[in-house]
């Protein structure tokens, strides 16, 4: 195995980590209006409980995306250039949505005004739903292939990216992230919020399982390889297990299985893509591969040594953060919001 293969796998691992960790962040934000209904006199406290489940970890989860983008730029600059120029508008929309979400989370508790909090809540919802859908659309198009010419430029229009397979991918990531977030909330909350989260997770599993199953099967039949059938089986078994454990109120096992389903699905996408990094629908000769899109061997060697020393430190620190904030949160734990830092309001 050469360094190109190693870095392809490492980039896949970084995006797997991002979708597993940021996936439940998105799900939590997507479900805020449902679990914290405004007609409920206790609605704002419930919304703060929901938001506090991710308060200590959401910004750390986003580091996986930054690291993945940086690794992509350094290890496969041609892939990075073609991807970010050809998918400029969808990626820009994702970036804007993430910025809106960050600002809404950080500033929601700074002003004691219902209108202000309502606007921040909608910013969180917008900043969660939009990336949840568009990430699925983007990765489905990467696997499916787009029009790439001899100059490594994407000539596909925005409407070309909105094909049935990509739209199914966007629907899949949205539903699976919502389910992932509901199960996470059931795991991290207590009292009536946990009860409602368990019920919501059971309901979300009804559309999420068949939609995700259809997308995974389409991916395998159209783009998969022989060995990736194993990933299809793992994803399918994990999603079916989520249904059973959610109904049994075993949210710890259910969360583990939603994580496994996300891991298997993203691994299926990268496995179906290899050894290409961006296939061309115009001519196979124009495909970007791990060989013609990579940096020099010396650059990859330096990056490998840096990753070997720094990655364990990052993993230990993030694991420690999750361990420190492992307790469940209930409405009884919510103090007055004004003047308190995120993670306590």
196/182 Cα distance (integer angstroms): 9
Task: Quote the pTM value.
Answer: 0.92
62/70 Cα distance (integer angstroms): 13
CA atoms in the 13 A half-sphere facing the CB of 82? 28
Q: By the 8 A CB rule, do 343 and 324 touch?
A: no
Q: What is the CATH number of the domain that holds 131?
A: 1.20.1630
Give the list of residues 6+ apart from residue 296 with CB closer than 8 angstroms, or none. Answer: none
Residue 280 lies in a domain: yes
The residue count of the chain comes to 345
Distances (CA, A) of 100 to 54, 103, 165, 268: 16, 5, 28, 31
Residue 286 lies in a domain: yes
Residue 306 lies in a domain: no
Residue 303 lies in a domain: no
Structure tokens belonging to residue 328:
């469940």
91/13 Cα distance (integer angstroms): 20
176/166 Cα distance (integer angstroms): 15
Residue written as token pair 């103090």: 335
Q: Is the dihedral of CA 121, 125, 126, 131 positive or negative?
A: positive
Structure tokens belonging to residue 147:
């029009």
Residue 278 lies in a domain: yes
336/332 Cα distance (integer angstroms): 11
Helical H segments across the chain, by residue range:
3-35, 43-52, 58-75, 77-86, 88-107, 114-144, 158-161, 164-188, 191-223, 229-247, 251-273, 297-324
- β-bridge partners, 154: 148
225/8 Cα distance (integer angstroms): 17
Q: By the 8 A CB rule, do 312 and 178 touch?
A: no
Residue 317 lies in a domain: yes
10 Å CB burial of residue 317 (0-12, 13-18, 19+) is exposed
- β-bridge partners, 276: 289
Residue 345 lies in a domain: no
Structure tokens belonging to residue 228:
């990736």
Structure tokens belonging to residue 229:
């059938």
One digit per residue, pLDDT tens: the chain, 345 residues?
Answer: 789 999 999 999 999 999 999 999 999 999 998 987 765 666 788 888 999 999 889 888 988 999 999 999 999 999 999 999 999 999 999 999 999 999 999 998 888 888 888 999 999 999 999 999 999 999 999 999 999 999 889 988 888 899 999 999 999 999 999 999 999 999 999 888 899 999 999 999 999 999 999 999 999 999 999 999 999 999 999 999 999 998 888 999 999 999 999 999 999 999 999 999 999 999 999 999 999 999 999 999 999 998 888 888 888 988 998 999 888 988 787 776 554 444 444
Give pLDDT, residue 43.
Answer: 72
3-state secondary structure of 236: helix
Residue 339 lies in a domain: no
The backbone torsions φ and ψ at residue 291, rounded to the nearest 5 degrees and listed phi first, read: -85, -50
Domain assignment of residue 73, given as a range: 3-298+311-333
Number of domains the chain contains: 1
């Amino acid at each position: 195995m050469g360094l190109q293969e190693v870095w392809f796998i490492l980039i896949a691992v970084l995006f797997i980590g991002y979708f597993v960790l940021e996936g439940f962040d998105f799900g939590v934000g997507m479900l805020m209006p449902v679990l914290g209904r405004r007609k409920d006199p206790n609605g704002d406290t419930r919304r703060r409980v929901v938001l506090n489940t991710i308060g200590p970890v959401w910004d750390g989860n986003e580091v996986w995306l930054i690291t993945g983008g940086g690794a992509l730029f350094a290890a496969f600059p041609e892939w990075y250039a073609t991807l970010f120029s050809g998918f400029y508008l969808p990626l820009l929309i994702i970036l804007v949505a993430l910025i809106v979400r960050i600002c809404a989370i950080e500033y929601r508790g700074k002003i004691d005004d219902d209108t202000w909090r309502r606007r921040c809540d909608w910013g969180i919802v917008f900043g969660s739903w939009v990336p949840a859908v568009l990430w699925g659309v983007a990765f489905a198009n990467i696997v499916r292939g787009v029009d790439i010419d001899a100059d490594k430029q994407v000539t596909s229009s925005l409407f070309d990216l909105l094909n049935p397979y990509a739209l199914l991918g966007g629907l899949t990531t949205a539903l699976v992230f919502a389910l992932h977030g509901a199960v996470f909330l059931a795991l991290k909350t207590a009292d009536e919020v946990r009860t409602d989260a368990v019920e919501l997770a059971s309901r979300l599993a009804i559309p999420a399982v068949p939609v995700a199953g259809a997308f995974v099967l389409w991916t395998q039949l159209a783009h998969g390889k022989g060995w990736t059938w194993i990933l299809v089986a793992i994803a399918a078994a994990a999603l079916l297990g989520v249904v059973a454990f959610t109904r049994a109120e075993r949210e710890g096992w259910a969360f583990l299985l939603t994580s496994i389903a996300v891991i298997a699905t993203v691994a299926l996408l990268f496995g179906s893509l290899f050894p290409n990094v961006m296939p061309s629908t115009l001519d196979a000769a124009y495909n970007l591969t791990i060989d013609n899109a990579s940096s020099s061997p010396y650059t990859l060697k330096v990056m490998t040594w840096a990753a070997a020393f720094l990655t364990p430190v990052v993993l230990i620190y993030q694991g420690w953060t999750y361990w420190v904030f492992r307790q469940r949160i209930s409405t009884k734990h919510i103090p007055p919001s004004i003047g308190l830092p995120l993670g306590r309001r």
